[in-house]
Amino acid sequence: MRPTRAALLVAATALTPALLFTTPAFATGSTATSTTVTATSETPVDEMSEEDDRVAVFRILYLAQQNGDQAVIREANKALNDGSPEALRTFLETGYRIAQAEDDSVAIFRILYLAQQNGDQAVIREVNKALNDGSPEALRTFLETGYRIAQAEDDRVAIFRILADPTISNALRAAAEEAIDGTPEELRYFLEVGQYKVDG
């Protein structure tokens, strides 16, 4: 059964204080979320041996544990506990994609909650596009690229607001003007750290 948006939002909101440290670490310069797991080598799933299937599921499970992807962990463990070739193959062919989409939805709702607290309009807009689409691919694309781009848009707006303040120091103005044309990571660094170093 597909989780409803309201149920996911309630769960993400309730879990936010405990999960802030596992929110995609854009602010530290990494990508929006963990890289998609490569379940196998170049061999298509339908050409893999049973042992290759088992190794692929273990590989997915290991990376899911590193990333805190609870739905993937749950479904990978189900497949491994069942142990049958059919259960392993079903997980690799469909179960993994569905479970990853569930984890991606939770991550996106955490991002949405924080964006609403911060007034990040571009992030809110792009989150809603991804959620309205609802496909696993749209959710993953948002986390891998869309979030970074949308956050950069909001960060530029925040820096322009700083520049619009006639009372800021010359040093802060110069630093803001330099940051405004930077990478998404440089924009975020200026807002979180750089501006306070200038006027600190």
Q: What is the pLDDT of residue 45?
A: 64
At 79, is the pLDDT very low, low, confident or very high (cuts 50, 70, 90)?
very high
State the average pLDDT for the chain: 82
pLDDT tens-place string over residues 4-23: 444 444 444 434 433 333 34
Q: What is the rounded CA–CA span in Å between residue 104 and residue 156?
A: 26
**% of the chain exceeding 90 in pLDDT:** 71
Nearest to 28 by CA among 124, 142, 109, 148: 148
Q: What is the rounded CA–CA span in Å between residue 110 and residue 27?
A: 15
At 160, is the pLDDT very low, low, confident or very high (cuts 50, 70, 90)?
very high
- Could you count the other beta carbons within 10 Å of the beta carbon of residue 159? 21
Q: What is the rounded CA–CA span in Å between residue 182 and residue 152?
A: 9
User: At a CB cut-off of 8 Å and minimum separation 6, what does 123 contact?
Assistant: 111, 112, 115, 147, 150, 151, 154
Nearest to 103 by CA among 152, 62, 65: 65
